[in-house]
Amino acid sequence: MVRYVYDFAEGGRGMAGLLGGKGANLAEMTRMGLPVPPGFIVSTEACRAFLATGAEPEGMSREISAHLSAVEAAAGRRLGHPDDPLLVSVRSGARPSMPGMMETVLDIGLDDASVLGLAEASGNERFAWDSYRRLVQMFGSTVMGVEASLFEEAMAVLKEARDAPDDMHLDARDLAELVEMFKKLIYDATGHDFPQSPAEQLRRAVLAVFRSWNGERARLYRRREHIPDDLGTAVTVQRMVFGNLGPDSGSGVAFTRDPVTGRPGLYGDYLPDAQGEDVVAGVRNTVALTELRRLDPHSYDQLRQYAQALESHYRDLCDIEFTVERGRLWMLQTRVGKRTAEASFTIAAELADEGVLTPDEALTRVSGDELARLMFPRFDTSATGPVLARGVPASPGAAVGAVVFDSATAVRRAATGEKVVLVRHETTPDDLPGMVAAQAVLTSHGGRTSHAAVVARGMGKVCVCGAGELRVHAGTRSFTTLDGIVVEEGTVISVDGTAGAVYPGAAPLVDSAVTRYLETGERSGDLTEAVAGALQQADAVRRLEVRANADTPEDAARARRFGAQGIGLCRTEHMFLGERRKLVEEMILARTDHQRRRALAALLPLQRRDFIGILAAMDGLPVTIRLLDPPLHEFLPDRTGLAVRIATAEARGGLPDPHDVELLEAVSRMHEENPMLGLRGVRLGLVVPGLVAMQVRAVAEAVVERTRAGGTPLAEIMVPLIGCVEELRLERDEVERVLAEVSAETGVPVRCPVGTMIELPRAALTAGRIAEQADFFSFGTNDLTQTTWGFSRDDVEAEFFSAYLDKGIFPASPFERLDREGVGRLVELATAEGRAAHPGLKTGVCGEHGGDPDSLHFFHATGLDYVSCSPFRVPVARLEAGRAALRPPADRVTGAERP
Ligand code: PEP
Ligand code: MG
């Protein structure tokens, strides 16, 4: 018999898969002896069963009743009893934290009779009616599906009529009137009454929370955070405690350290006489937690003690939701808290310094994505205009964009490539699509723990919230600053999420301190120290080498400063552009050997100079130079342009330029429908005489020159886009011939390993044979993805990937994150068969995936020797390679899963 319900006392933090993060942590706090209101958890297994069949799992209801009886017995009260009712909350909680993305129903147990009992028992009539009002509203929208805005509008109308600036100014009679209005709204919208049976309320609320797992915003959030769709949510049912019982009550959110900077010390927001949802929703502005010390020193001291206990127990920053009910502190939630990238690094370093974490553990607490975020530029505040507004620096970074006032506009304008800043009074979970689309989020309401702040931090999105001086008029699509400046929709502003400032126009940007440190070694504070420590540890433990994709001496030098151990891909085609394109054009269009040789001879010294510069910048480290790869048409003039030129000349009655006519004829002859799969890569080398010889000679002569200059040039030659061993053999013969020729001519022996890219399925499938001719394999996962899926890499992402992502066909673009199952399988197979045929065969990756953390963990697990990525990704790859070495792949914890 499957069991679906667990008492808090039965669970623990290790059970998050079954009980959800919230449930597991409530159980853990219960076991630690902290004051947690009693309750129980309906498991994720029950949710999965319900979502799979659409029917309530067999026996779940019975189990809920039994556990409810235990809570009732402990409280000495019955759910919804007319005299002194017990009320419960019903909250969602999946294994990963998904703040605000699913549903919650509070105050279950109130009906027309028990509301009077609650008023009597609490001695607070307003409180009782306010609780009932909240229940009817939440139940109506969440469980019965009534449009939430209908309730809000009704409430706004009543507030206006009573001249009440906020809901605190509505009295018990007003609230009772609202309850009646809400009940009528529900009946009118659904044809059903608000249920007066507490047991039915509970049952339906649990199922509604289950259903909210598949709600639109939850699905969008999961896609964005790469959270699997099949986890399901648990449901926590817990005795309600009340922060809205008067001035000696309140609710708050606390962090054991500052989640923005990482600085130690209890930190957070408090809202007197309020329930927790008011704090998170940002409907009223909170006060700093230090205010609680003044209002209720005893509760504050207890909270500090519990916070310390939690931090030492979890060995990490924890966030806490708590309520003070008439001077008594209750712990309602804890979890390992979300934090900014800066805080992640500084907290890991501090905990390591304090001896709480080993250096290896500290490394697992930071991620490459976080490091990448810290490498973003910031605003040059010495050159910004006067501040438009100030607010809470809720999520750091600098962003520039046009102001928009609603989520749909943000999505629409961003889809055209425009950068936008979403400006709201406060955000709700429905704003999520707009937040994803925007560069930054700016709100006039709410604190660091508001929905906007929590979600933005989770996404690494710039956010300033609680900019109280701003008046946001969503209706007229403008906001007004304290100085009376009116900013209309479409106006460009700059948002500094690190300083909490907003500037007019596009403010100038400067490099980040972390990037400066990586470039120059200059350490300028705790953050750079922490980054340095993490990278040092990663370098000490990683097995994967990290190289860079670089094709200029400048990029090579930068990559080296960033810690690259060589160049894994030098794309020589980038050296054939600009003025040199003419020479390539001549070479391709040459009618005679003589013409072709002349063009190649003109290219040779230019190529040699490039290689000398790159080999000098990477002296002593391997430099993999790839022979020319791109489709030919990239070097030829545009066909349409030529045709137009000729037609125009003819229309004017003249004769067209004969060179144009000749070019058009050649270009038309070479035209390819899909050039990415045409005369490219090794095919080009085998078809255009003298091309490979010229490139290899340039490499060899550069090696000779560097050797004579006292350097240690370690050039490697790589053949692109081969499909079979014969192609490689022919190309290799040519390479060896030229190397021998240059060695003989110069008296300097030039030995370059010759390897190949594996970027076609046929190459992967015949890797054993290919390896006989190759000194190394480098997986070109861009082309391997294109050809394995049959996706044109230049077209499909814009065309239909968003539909594929929406339908959940893949969780992320396979061009961004390696498709382990398909493309990855080819990488595994080719590596194994290549090595079997050629022991010691060196293997690496030089497609974009080399710098993607998730893919990199796969390459580590596959046993590749190196990854190669763009210079700016090199530090990220070093860090992730270290993390990969510490964690078995199945146990990998992503940012999304960490809490
Ligand atoms: C690849 O295909 O992965 C690769 C690195 O080559 P390119 O992107 O230049 O085709
Ligand atoms: Mg390629």
Query: What pLDDT digit, counting tens, does each position of 502-513 carry?
Result: 999 999 888 789
Give the model's pLDDT for residue 61. 95
Distance CA 403, CA 409 (A): 10
pLDDT at 31 > cutoff 60: yes
- Among residues 245, 270, 252, the alpha carbon closest in space to that of 326 is found at 245
Read off the pLDDT of residues 471-507 as tens digits, 9 standing for 90 and up.
Answer: 999 889 999 998 889 999 999 999 998 888 999 999 9
Class of domain 376-510: alpha beta
Class of domain 542-631+672-886: alpha beta
With b for 16 or more beta-carbon neighbours within 10 A and e for fewer, the 511-520 pattern comes to: ebbbbbbbee
**336: CA distance to ligand 1 center in Å?**
40
Mean pLDDT of 321-329: 96
Q: For the chain, what are the domain ranges?
A: 5-239, 253-336, 376-510, 542-631+672-886
Is 451 annotated as catalytic?
yes
Give the model's pLDDT for residue 460. 66
**5: CA distance to ligand 2 center in Å?**
53
With the most atoms of ligand 1 within 8 angstroms of its CB, the residue from 757, 791, 819 to mutate is 757
Classify residue 154 by burial, with Cβ atoms within 10 Å: 0-12, 13-18, 19+: middle
Among 47, 318, 445, 451, the one annotated catalytic: 451
pLDDT at 801 > cutoff 90: no
- Among residues 831, 708, 850, the alpha carbon closest in space to that of 785 is found at 850
Distance CA 36, CA 238 (A): 9
pLDDT at 779 > cutoff 90: yes
For ligand 1, what atom is nearest to the CA of residue 783?
2
pLDDT band at 79 (very low <50, low <70, confident <90, very high): very high
Q: Which two tokens stand for residue 871?
A: 């210079």
How high does pLDDT run on average in the chain? Answer: 91
Read off the pLDDT of residues 836-884 as tens digits, 9 standing for 90 and up.
Answer: 999 999 999 999 899 999 999 999 999 999 999 988 889 999 999 999 9
Is 594 annotated as catalytic?
no
pLDDT band at 590 (very low <50, low <70, confident <90, very high): confident
- What ligand is nearest to the CA atom of residue 778? 1
pLDDT at 424 > cutoff 90: yes
Q: Is 197 helix (H, G, I), strand (E, B) or coil?
A: coil
pLDDT at 299 > cutoff 50: yes
Q: Phi and psi for 187 in degrees, rounded to 5?
A: -65, -45
Share of the chain above pLDDT 90, in %: 71
pLDDT at 897 > cutoff 60: no
Give the model's pLDDT for residue 585. 83
Give the model's pLDDT for residue 892. 37
Give the model's pLDDT for residue 573. 78
- What ligand is nearest to the CA atom of residue 846? 1
pLDDT at 359 > cutoff 60: yes
pLDDT band at 316 (very low <50, low <70, confident <90, very high): very high
Show Cβ contacts of residue 279 under 8 Å, excluding neighbours closer than 6 positions. Answer: 251, 252, 253, 269, 270, 271, 286, 449
Give the model's pLDDT for residue 458. 60
> For 709-790, where are the alpha helices, taking DSSP H only?
725-746, 761-765, 767-770, 781-789
Domains 253-336 and 542-631+672-886 share a fold: no
Read off the pLDDT of residues 806-821 as tens digits, 9 standing for 90 and up.
Answer: 787 887 889 889 999 9
Class of domain 253-336: alpha beta
**638: CA distance to ligand 1 center in Å?**
23
Count the neighbouring beta carbons within 10 Å of the beta carbon of residue 725. Answer: 20
pLDDT at 889 > cutoff 50: no
Show Cβ contacts of residue 889 under 8 Å, excluding neighbours closer than 6 positions. Answer: 857, 858, 860, 861
Read off the pLDDT of residues 603-653 as tens digits, 9 standing for 90 and up.
Answer: 999 999 999 999 999 999 999 999 998 777 777 778 888 899 899 988 888
pLDDT band at 448 (very low <50, low <70, confident <90, very high): low
**734: CA distance to ligand 1 center in Å?**
23
With the most atoms of ligand 1 within 8 angstroms of its CB, the residue from 846, 859, 866, 867 to mutate is 846
pLDDT band at 890 (very low <50, low <70, confident <90, very high): very low
pLDDT at 348 > cutoff 60: yes
Ligand 1 site, CB within 6 A: 569, 571, 629, 759, 780-783, 846-847
Give the model's pLDDT for residue 277. 77
Give the model's pLDDT for residue 421. 97
Give the model's pLDDT for residue 896. 33
For ligand 1, what atom is nearest to the CA of residue 786?
2
DSSP string, 353-410: HTTSS-HHHHHHTS-HHHHHHHTS-EE-GGG--S-SEE-EEEE-SEEEEEEE-SHHHH
Distance CA 10, CA 745 (A): 81
Show Cβ contacts of residue 251 under 8 Å, excluding neighbours closer than 6 positions. Answer: 243, 244, 270, 271, 274, 275, 276, 278, 279, 321, 322, 323, 324
For ligand 1, what atom is nearest to the CA of residue 781?
3
pLDDT at 534 > cutoff 60: yes
With the most atoms of ligand 1 within 8 angstroms of its CB, the residue from 783, 823, 849 to mutate is 783
Give the model's pLDDT for residue 449. 62
CATH number of 5-239: 3.30.1490.20
- DSSP annotation of 633 reads G
Which protein residue's CA is at the shortest distance from atom 6 of ligand 1? 780
Ranking 106-115, 508-517, 729-738 by mean pLDDT, the lowest is 508-517
Read off the pLDDT of residues 242-292 as tens digits, 9 standing for 90 and up.
Answer: 998 889 999 999 999 999 889 999 989 999 988 887 776 666 778 889 899
**783: CA distance to ligand 1 center in Å?**
6
